[in-house]
Structure 1
Amino acid sequence: MEHRQMGKDGPQIPALGLGAWPLGGGMGRVDENTAVDTIHAAIDSGITLIDTAQAYKDSEAFLGRALANGYRDRCFLATKASFDFSSQGIRAGMENSLRDLKVDYVDLYQLHRWDSGTPIGAQMETMVQLQAEGKTRYIGVSNYTGAQLEQAYQVAPFHSDQPGYNLFDRHIEADVLPACREHGIGVLAHSPLAKGLLTGKYTAETVFPSDDERSWLPSFQGESFRHDLDVAGRLEALARDKGLTLVQFAIAWLLRDPAITCVLVGAKSPAQVADYLPAVGVTFSQSELDAIDAAMGLA
């Protein structure tokens, strides 16, 4: 597994990390034994960064079981404060996560989203205090705009940002990535497969179960869904020409940029974990990148 440095002075982390939202049940229920097997398969294969959050349903409890018997020592464990961003809420979130994860500390603690109801100064100061107390080795943020990153960084420098980024959603290229490059902030990209749009698994007739968030997400409904599936079909043809699955192709496209420290892949089975590995180490020529943009109607 390729490793990259998280930020200008952070640790080496794997280029692929396991995002635990699907394991927790956010995209349909996952059996606990299957979740544990999937986590073990990821760590055994070199995908040793595991990212979860308070909001990821059953994921922290599943991880608490999966990280026993030496697996905790083999992984870089990240979680997030998701709900209450007051100082007391962030602290309570940390304690709840440590309890559910059955660990004494995490490697990375993140603010899950921007909260305008609590001064960012108080939030970041609490994060720094938790770091000083040994509850987390590093601190970061998630889903911030470039301007929000700047505000937070002025209070307390942090090591990572976790934005959504994929071939369909490139909004971070305008302001978030430039801010991260300027300050030397590591980027952990979530939703690299656009929640399944970039897998080639679905058709316009696909019906998602009610406990799967895609049953109500606008991008999986009607004309928007059909359009994106058509684009994904064109991308899949480019992937085949390169000897890759669409999944591998989409992840490799993200990893082509050295500003991306880690791509967080979701998985609901060990087989899905194995499918991600060939994406690491792939390079693209400029003509291939131009073909991707043309397939998406951006050229």
Structure 2
Amino acid sequence: MEYRKIGNSDLQLSVITFGAWAAGGWMWGGTERKDAVNAIKAGYEVGISSIDTAPIYGQGTSEEIVGEAIKDIPREKIQILTKFGMRWDLAKGDFAMHSQDNSGKNIDIYKYAGKESIIYECEQSLKRLGTDYIDLYQIHWPESSTPIEESFEAVARLIEQGKVRYAGVCNYTAQQMEEANKACKIISNQVPYSMLNRKIEAEVVPYCLKNNFGILAYSPLERGLLTGKIQPNHVFAKGDARSEMKVYQPESIKKVNDFLLKIKPIADDLGATLGQLVLKWTLEQPAITIALAGARNAEQTLQNAKASNLQLSQEQIQFINSELSSI
């Protein structure tokens, strides 16, 4: 496993970081808790020392699962990344969405990052995770009801108290990152990035390269679509949000799978799966520090981990990039 420093910090993360959204079950059609715990443990055994979670993932379920999985691992051997700023138990801030929890109960979710809310959320996360500090604490989404300065002054206080080591952002523009960094030193931006979603290359990537911020790429496999295992006639489980996504409609799946067939010979030559090839391509892109890869069981985690060891030539990367234009 390869490890990389994040921005101007001494925080090192495994380049394949365990993304624990799916483990929480919410918007993924539920969770099998035992399988999720074993997936995280299996990852640690092969070098995936970093785990990214959030309170909203299963309304606390994901953080609880992470806490259970790491309870017997020396704390200094792992890096816990979690988030704040999405509340399902408080109607305040920007309304985000109507949803259902894992039991099918209707819930309303708000983006809110007021100072007292952040302090409260941190305490709840620490309890669920079974730890006394968080390595990287990230705002989940921008929100309009609280000044960015106020939100990050709260995080700065948590850092002073030793409850948080470093601050980060998610889904922030370059301008928002600039503003957050004035109130509290931030080291990273977690953003969606994949072969099918390269919007950040226009503004966020150049800004992060110039200012030495890390980029944590989430959904690099487009929630499984870029593994080649999803067919146009795939039937998603009840509660799986992918069924509503444009990229998961039959005509889009077919187009993506046609592209994957073109690059499959590269994966075959490397003795790799398509998913592993896609993850490695992601890690080779400018400014991408780590790739978040979710898993529902131990086998998926072990497959993801192998991506770190692949060696891609510039010719192979260029071929992939040229074929991407066909999608």
- Range into which the TM-score falls when normalised by the shorter chain: over 0.9
- Which residue matches 1:9? 9
The gaps in structure 1 that reach 5 residues or longer are none
**CA–CA separation in structure 2 for the residues paired with 1:160 and 1:169:** 19
Cα displacement (A) at 1:71: 5.0
Matching residue of 1:55: 56
Partner of 1:38: 39
Higher percent of residues as strand: 2
Deviation at 1:234, TM superposition (A): 2.5
Do the aligned residues in 1 keep the contact of 2:230 with 2:253 (CA within 8 Å)? no
Q: CA RMSD in A?
A: 1.8
Aligned residue among 301, 304, 325 for 1:276: 304
**TM-score, normalization by structure 1:** 0.94
Q: 1:71 to 1:22 in 2, by over 3 A?
A: farther
Equivalent position amino acid for 1:167 in 2: M
Aligned residues: 299
Distance in structure 2 (CA, Å) of the matches to 1:63 and 1:237: 36
- Within 5 Å, give how 1:103-252 maps onto structure 2: 103-252=131-280
Secondary structure in structure 2 of the residue aligned to 1:195 = coil
Residue matched to 1:22? 22
1:63-82 aligned within 5 A: 63-82=66-85
Structure 1 residue 298: deviation in Å? 6.0
Structure 2: stretches of 5+ with no match in the other structure = 87-111
CA distance in 1, matches of 2:43, 2:315: 33
**TM-score normalised per structure 2:** 0.86
Report the CA distance between 1:152 and its aligned residue. 1.9
Amino acid of the structure 1 residue aligned with 2:324: M
Q: Structure 1 residues 278 and 66, CA, compared in 2 at 3 Å: closer, same or farther? A: closer
Give yes or no for contact 1:200–1:236 (8 Å, CA) kept in 2: no
**Residue of structure 2 equivalent to 1:265:** 293
Write out per-residue CA displacement over residues 102-139 of structure 1, whole angstroms, 9 at most, x where no aligned residue. Answer: 21111111001111221111111111111111111111
In structure 2, what is the Cα distance between the partners aligned to 1:76 and 1:146? 25
How far the C-alpha of 1:219 sits from its partner, in A, is 1.6
Give the 4+ runs in structure 1 shifted more than 4 A: none
Stretch deviating more after TM superposition (67-76 or 80-89):
67-76
Q: Distance in 2 between matches of 1:176 and 1:283?
A: 26
Task: Quote the Cα distance in structure 2 between the aligned partners of 1:6 and 1:113.
Answer: 20
